[in-house]
């Protein structure tokens, strides 16, 4: 257990007071025992005074992934800044498997970061790259370094340069305010996308990462909107009588699946965003909601209570009968596909209450991943390594994340208000 | 009081409308019951809903009017866990609303369905609709015109009470009559 929040981070929060209510901090709640030791040495500073500690951002990213256990800085008795300064024997003695070194210099108005990744046991350089960044892109530059390091070692594309959308609320009953935010995947750089005194629900990223679909009750009835993230420009897509709920993008970005109750009970529909052509997918006297498109675009999974309680079903879009996927326990809901389509992540109620679980589709085996209170709204990182979800800490709603194997987890509490319904963006670069 | 401000102001408007000889219609200025009024195309930061600060004092001074022209005072009924069954103790409340709506065919009500926080949000939205739908069905059987009744589910999004305990949950599993 290690708290990642450092004093400079706290200082940053205070400096950004207007944003502080939405800014999320990070507490590691469960470290991975089998994480790979890595040393991210503080980058040498060649005349560029920086408001951000780039090496610390990289170390935090790598630790949060659950794959790595960054070496404490106090344990680093030397701080090389390039591969030819590294005395491998010293770092082997610290059981370090990999190390990242770098130096930062001025480049016009911005900075130039030269970094290298070394395999300590093999005494070899694996990666070397120069990144230039404007002063307002320093964190983005660090996340890019994290992405490259992560992929070079694990073979898995890094997802540190992605973003999350989430909803906050304050107040109770008739006196509430709701906001939709977009932030970096580590909770920083939050920006408000929408504010309302009526509920905002179910944000969902378009596959190109440029738009968000969500449900807003701002007209006293639920309606589904699609909003361009950069401009705030938006359109109201559906406002049928009854529920307009749970939008989910098709992988090609042309359609949304959603739950509508215009014909009575909530059913799953798809709508073509261009033509507004509406197609009904399910037909049953029970509740059908929470659709999610398979990565190959050929089927939808959704929650239905046709068996008495909520369970996950799969419907091929070409027709045919729906197939029930979950049989473990009597509450399985709001499933989302892993990016490879071979597993689903969902909310499962077992002896430990509502938790994030993974079910492998081949074996049908379900494993609880989280150890949280009232977990809900799981959303999978685009590289499939982590799942972000909503939970409770004290009396407040916070975001949590757990690795896809359940070994590592962390929380992202906000300074105030309730935070929920996180949605992890696709790859943005 | 579970009513939202707009509903309260409209309740005032209705109440005033039924008071014989009363010429004031001062409770209607916010006009926010105009339906699903929010336009599309407005950018981020739109809140969309204007709600006035109108007090509900008009409800209590209807001296001399017929009882059936007043909106029944109890406007929230509660449900058991995972249930949309109307509890026997609330049947009289529903009967009073049914009588009011039958006798005032110009009155409209929004049945706001709510759940407690347990379970997933979108599924709870569907459960809240089922709860409000059970009330709608009751009113329909009692002869209320379907055109007077609309269902809007808020799921777990607007808790009446905070807290993760049975007391809060019981207050949150409810249907509110919003006139």
Q: Is residue A181 a contact partner of residue A168, using CB atoms and an 8 Å limit? A: yes
pLDDT given for residue B64 in this prediction: 40
Buried b (16+ CB within 10 A) or exposed e, A52-77: bbbbbbbbbbbbbbbbbbbbeeeebe
Tell which residue, A340, A294, A297, A29, has the closest CA to residue A156: A340
Q: Which residues of B touch A169 (CB under 8 A)?
A: 157
pLDDT at B18 over 80: no
* Joined tokens for residue A39: 């040393």
Detail the DSSP E strand segments found in A82-221: 98-107, 110-119, 124-133, 163-172, 175-184, 191-196, 200-205, 211-216
d(CA A80, CA A300): 52
Q: How does residue B128 score in pLDDT terms, banded at 50, 70 and 90?
A: very high
Report DSSP letters for B53-98, one per residue: ----GGGS--TTS-GGGS--S--EEE--TT--PPPGGGHHHHHHHH
d(CA B103, CA A175): 32
- Asked if A196 and B46 come within 8 Å (Cβ–Cβ), the reply is yes
- Asked if A349 and B119 come within 8 Å (Cβ–Cβ), the reply is yes
pLDDT in tens, chain A (429 residues): 334 333 333 333 333 334 444 678 778 777 787 899 999 999 999 876 788 999 999 999 999 999 999 999 999 999 999 999 999 999 999 999 999 999 999 988 889 999 999 999 999 999 999 999 998 899 999 999 999 999 999 999 999 999 999 999 999 888 999 999 999 999 999 999 999 999 999 999 999 999 999 999 999 999 999 999 999 999 999 999 999 999 999 999 999 999 999 999 999 999 999 999 999 999 999 999 999 999 999 999 999 999 999 999 999 999 899 999 999 999 999 999 999 999 999 999 999 999 999 999 999 999 999 999 999 999 999 999 999 999 999 889 999 999 999 999 999 887 778 999 999 999 997
The complex's ipTM? 0.91
* Joined tokens for residue A379: 């959303």
Nearest CA in chain A to B120: A376
d(CA B172, CA B164): 11
Q: Is residue A237 a contact partner of residue A273, using CB atoms and an 8 Å limit? A: yes
Of A195, A241, A245, the CB nearest to B125: A245
- Asked if B126 and A194 come within 8 Å (Cβ–Cβ), the reply is no
* Joined tokens for residue A192: 């408000």
Q: Is residue A399 a contact partner of residue A387, using CB atoms and an 8 Å limit? A: no
How many C-beta neighbours within 10 Å does residue B82 have?
12
d(CA A219, CA A213): 16
pLDDT given for residue B53 in this prediction: 34
Tell which residue, B15, B33, B13, has the closest CA to residue B25: B13
Residue identified by tokens 């025992």 is A33
Q: Is residue A268 a contact partner of residue A289, using CB atoms and an 8 Å limit? A: yes
Nearest CA in chain B to A310: B123
Q: Which helix (H) or strand (E) holds B178?
A: strand B174-178
Angle value at C-alpha A332, between A326 and A333, nearest 5 degrees = 120
pLDDT given for residue B82 in this prediction: 85
Measure A358 CA to nearest chain B CA, in Å. 16
d(CA A288, CA A291): 8
Q: Which residues of B touch A331 (CB under 8 A)?
A: 119
- Asked if A201 and B157 come within 8 Å (Cβ–Cβ), the reply is yes
Three-state secondary-structure class, residue A80: coil
pLDDT given for residue A14 in this prediction: 33
Measure A371 CA to nearest chain B CA, in Å. 15
Ordered alpha helix ranges (H), A114-269:
138-154
Q: Which residues of B touch A193 (CB under 8 A)?
A: 44
């Amino acid at each position: 257990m290690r708290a990642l929040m450092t004093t400079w981070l706290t200082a940053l929060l205070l400096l950004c007071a207007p944003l502080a209510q939405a800014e999320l901090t990070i507490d590691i709640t469960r470290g991975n025992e089998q994480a790979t030791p890595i040393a991210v040495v503080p980058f040498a500073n060649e005349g560029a005074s920086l408001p951000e500690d780039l090496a610390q951002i990289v170390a935090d990213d790598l630790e949060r992934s659950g794959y790595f256990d960054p070496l404490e800085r106090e344990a680093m008795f030397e701080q090389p800044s390039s591969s030819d300064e590294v005395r491998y024997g010293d770092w082997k003695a610290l059981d370090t498997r990999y190390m990242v070194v770098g130096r930062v210099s001025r480049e016009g108005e911005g900075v130039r970061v030269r970094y290298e990744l070394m395999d300590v046991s093999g005494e070899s350089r694996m990666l070397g790259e120069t990144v230039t960044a404007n002063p307002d892109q320093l964190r983005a530059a660090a996340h890019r370094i994290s992405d490259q390091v992560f992929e070079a070692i694990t073979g898995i594309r890094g997802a540190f340069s992605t973003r999350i959308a989430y909803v906050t609320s304050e107040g109770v009953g008739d006196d509430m305010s709701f906001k939709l935010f977009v932030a970096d995947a580590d909770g920083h750089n939050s920006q408000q996308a929408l504010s309302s005194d009526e509920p905002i629900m179910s944000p969902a990223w378009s596959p190109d990462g440029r738009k968000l679909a969500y449900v807003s009750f701002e007209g006293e009835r639920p309606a589904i909107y699609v909003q361009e993230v950069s401009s705030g420009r938006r359109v109201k897509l559906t406002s049928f009588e009854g529920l307009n709920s749970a939008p989910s993008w098709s992988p090609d970005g042309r359609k949304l699946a959603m739950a509508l109750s215009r014909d009575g009970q909530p059913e799953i529909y798809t709508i073509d965003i261009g033509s507004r052509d509406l197609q009904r997918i399910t037909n049953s006297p029970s509740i059908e909601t929470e659709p999610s498109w398979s990565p190959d675009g050929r089927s939808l999974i959704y929650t239905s209570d046709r068996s008495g309680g909520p369970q996950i079903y799969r419907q091929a879009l070409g027709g045919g009968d729906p197939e029930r996927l979950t049989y473990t326990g009597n509450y399985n809901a709001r499933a989302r596909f892993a990016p490879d389509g071979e597993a689903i992540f969902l909310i499962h109620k077992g002896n430990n209450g509502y938790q994030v679980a993974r079910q492998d589709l081949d074996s049908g085996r379900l494993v609880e991943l989280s150890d949280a209170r009232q977990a809900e709204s799981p959303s999978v990182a685009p590289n499939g390594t982590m799942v972000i979800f909503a939970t409770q800490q004290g009396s407040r709603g916070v975001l949590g994340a757990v690795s896809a194997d359940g070994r590592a987890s962390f929380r992202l509490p906000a300074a105030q208000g309730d935070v929920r319904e996180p949605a992890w963006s696709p790859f943005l670069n | 009081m579970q009513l939202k401000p707009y509903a309260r102001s409209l309740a005032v408007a209705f109440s005033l409308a039924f008071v014989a000889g009363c010429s004031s219609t001062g409770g209607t200025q916010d006009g926010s019951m105009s339906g699903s009024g929010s336009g599309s195309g407005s950018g981020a930061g739109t809140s969309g809903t204007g709600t006035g600060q109108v007090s509900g004092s008009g409800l209590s001074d209807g001296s001399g009017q017929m009882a059936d022209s007043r909106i029944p005072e109890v406007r929230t009924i509660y449900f058991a866990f995972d249930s949309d069954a109307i509890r026997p103790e609330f049947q009289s409340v529903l009967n009073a609303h049914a009588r009011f709506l039958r006798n005032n065919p110009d009155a409209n009500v929004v049945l706001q369905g709510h759940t407690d926080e347990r379970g997933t949000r979108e599924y709870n939205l569907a459960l809240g609709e089922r709860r409000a739908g059970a009330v709608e069905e009751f009113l329909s059987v009692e002869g209320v015109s379907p055109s007077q009744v609309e269902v809007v589910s808020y799921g777990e999004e607007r808790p009446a009470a905070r807290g993760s305990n049975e007391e809060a949950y019981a207050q949150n599993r409810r249907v509110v009559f919003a006139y």
